[in-house]
Amino acid sequence: MAMEEKRKSRLYALKPLTDRLPAVTRPEGHVHFRTKLFWVLFILVLYFVMTNVFLYGLDKSQTLDFFASLRAILAGAQGSLMHLGIGPIVTGSIIMQLFAGAKIINLDLKDDEDKSVYQGTQKLLVIIMIFVEAVPQVFGFLHPSGSFVTNLDGWSIPYLLPTGNGQNLSRFLLVLQLFAGSYLVFLMDEVVSKWGIGSGISLFIAAGVAQQIFTGTFNWEPTTQGIPSGAIPKTIYYLQNLNSGQIASGGLEQMMLSPPNALVALIGTMAIFFIVSYVESTRIELPLAHGMARGARGRYPIRLLYASNIPVILIAAVLANVSMFSLLFWQHPEWPVIGHQWWIGAYPSASDPRVIDQQLQQTTPIGGAAFYLSNINGVQEWLLPLFSPTRYGVYLRGHTYAQVALHLGIFLTVMIGGSVMFARFWIMTTNMGADAVAKQIQSSGMQIPGFRRDPAILERVLDRYIPVVTVISGAAVGTLASGADMIGTVGNASGTGVLLAVGIMIQLYEAIGREQMMEMHPVLRQFFAPA
């Protein structure tokens, strides 16, 4: 009894609270393939609807997109119910996974009761993270409109806000809207996971990136110069309105290289799709044989992208947080030591001509550490100024080319080195290392032919591959993401976003194939059904 009490995690104390949180019930029996497909499509449509429902009472003219550099990962839309996107869910999930992997929380996820406590605690953590992200947003960067504040001046909330405090009440209502949208997204993820196919989080990321790519490719709305902003409509416009001499003297350059959504960005996006599709299928397969059942054989695949896209997500989130906090410091000069310090990060003002011409955003760093750690967004920021300084010099943001070269070197080093570091960290904390995999293979009764059935021997064999593949995996995703950013992607989907979308679509395709197999051959359900 004493050992049982010792085994229990302190998180069990939260169980009375987490059991009362709203949740989606799990189906009691088999869900047909058509029903699963219906829920996936319905949730996908609902996601796009929510990205177009804007927060009531928000002043859009004074809104800064705090998460602009993370849009591809967060799958949100600025100023909408999906403004926070999947940020709170991903943050809460990563925190819980790291704590469980590092044995900080004493839970055995193979035990049903412990797994229930884990999921309930994660749900509570997501709620906390929604408020942690929503409150600074509303009180710093999402401003309520003047008419909304005036209409609420006569209202009050007993014991919280007195009558006549319309400014705080309007912000309180904005926070509630963000909470409602974010928690609804969490429940939508549960619907897809339990009643649909794959993961709702992955579905939203892929949908958001696909929308950005589609818009960047086919958008016919004109820019301030009256030229369509989409890559294909812009190309057609130039071909229709320029003669052969004009195309040869500068039109071809405008079509191929000039932002926004240059043809080279479209070609780069397509190339990343094909490269990632190929790399995702590259793997080393270790032969396995069952120790007891003669003739029973199998293979253990070690994919080239062994750590998946997680490392590049984590390093992109770290760099985005650097930009986010440096912007916060820049806008508060009253803070001692760190307030409005150029060496942390300098940003353009709203009256800056580059902001007015939409060549820069107010959230784009133009100096300090934040500049050197910021993303490269296309060839115009590092390559084109070498060939045409007068035309593309504005994209240098007032820096010399030596500073731009240093920015490029630091960005590549941090992206690739950081991805390798996070890949090794992720493998160690998620039971994907050689020792953990050896125990999993051993517990399944399998062994490598020609070797004794000993976990230590199996671990030594796996140790020849997994650490090396982990480093290669982190370097590969870091190189692909940063390379795509250097070339540019249509719709500003970012290299990280394109990587995620391709990987998610491949996994969804494989999951749909498994579901169809189980529908045609019900006996296969026992092999594919989750534990």
Q: Report the pLDDT value the prediction gives residue 157, as an integer from 0 to 100.
A: 62
Cα gap 83→65, rounded to integer Å: 9
Asked which of 212, 229, 252 is the last residue of a domain, the reply is: 212
What pLDDT band is residue 236 in, cutting at 50, 70 and 90?
A: very high
Q: Is there a domain that residue 237 lies in?
A: no
Cβ neighbours around 392 below 10 Å, total: 20
Cα gap 194→36, rounded to integer Å: 9
Q: Is there a domain that residue 41 lies in?
A: yes
Q: Report the pLDDT value the prediction gives residue 473, as an integer from 0 to 100.
A: 92
Yes or no: say if 474 and 307 are a contact pair by the CB < 8 Å rule.
Answer: yes
Q: For residues 337 and 446, state if they share a domain.
A: yes
Q: For residues 296 and 378, state if they share a domain.
A: yes
In this model, does residue 351 exceed pLDDT 60? Answer: yes
Q: For residues 179 and 325, state if they share a domain.
A: no
pTM assigned to the model: 0.80
Taking residues 188-196, report their average pLDDT: 92
Please state the φ and ψ torsions of residue 71, each to the nearest 5 degrees: -60, -40
Length of the chain: 531
Dihedral of the alpha carbons of 96, 102, 108, 113, in degrees to the nearest 10: -20
Q: For residues 206 and 284, state if they share a domain.
A: no
Question: What CATH number is attached to the domain comprising 35?
Answer: 1.10.3370.10
Q: Is there a domain that residue 246 lies in?
A: no
**The total number of structural domains that make up the chain:** 2
Q: What is the pLDDT of residues 139-188, one digit of tens each?
A: 877 888 888 888 877 676 665 555 557 788 888 899 999 999 999 999 99
Q: For residues 304 and 408, state if they share a domain.
A: yes
- Which residues have CB under 8 Å from 204's CB, separation 6+? 47, 75, 85, 86, 185, 189
Q: What is the pLDDT of residues 280-328, one digit of tens each?
A: 888 888 888 766 656 566 778 888 888 888 888 778 878 877 887 888 8
Q: What is the pLDDT of residues 46-104, one digit of tens each?
A: 999 999 999 999 987 777 666 666 677 778 888 899 998 888 887 888 788 778 766 77
Q: Is there a domain that residue 250 lies in?
A: no
Asked which of 212, 247, 279 is the last residue of a domain, the reply is: 212
Q: Is there a domain that residue 144 lies in?
A: yes
Q: State the chain's mean pLDDT as an integer.
A: 83
Asked which of 169, 185, 212 is the last residue of a domain, the reply is: 212
Sign of the C-alpha dihedral computed for residues 140, 142, 143 and 144 taken in this order? negative
Q: State which residues form the domain around 350.
A: 269-489
Q: Is there a domain that residue 19 lies in?
A: yes
Yes or no: say if 528 and 514 are a contact pair by the CB < 8 Å rule.
Answer: yes
Helix or strand or coil: residue 56? coil
Q: For residues 189 and 318, state if they share a domain.
A: no
Q: Which long-range contacts (CB under 8 A, 24 or more apart) does 359-364 make?
A: 359/394, 359/395, 360/397, 361/65, 361/68, 362/64, 363/64, 363/65, 363/66, 363/68, 363/69, 363/323, 363/327, 364/397
Q: For residues 273 and 197, state if they share a domain.
A: no
346 bridge partner residues: 367
493: tokens are: 């989907």
Q: Is there a domain that residue 513 lies in?
A: no
Cα gap 379→487, rounded to integer Å: 5
**What residue type is 147 in one-letter code?**
S
Q: For residues 40 and 159, state if they share a domain.
A: yes
- Which residues have CB under 8 Å from 355's CB, separation 6+? 348, 349, 361, 362
Q: Is there a domain that residue 227 lies in?
A: no
Cβ neighbours around 375 below 10 Å, total: 22
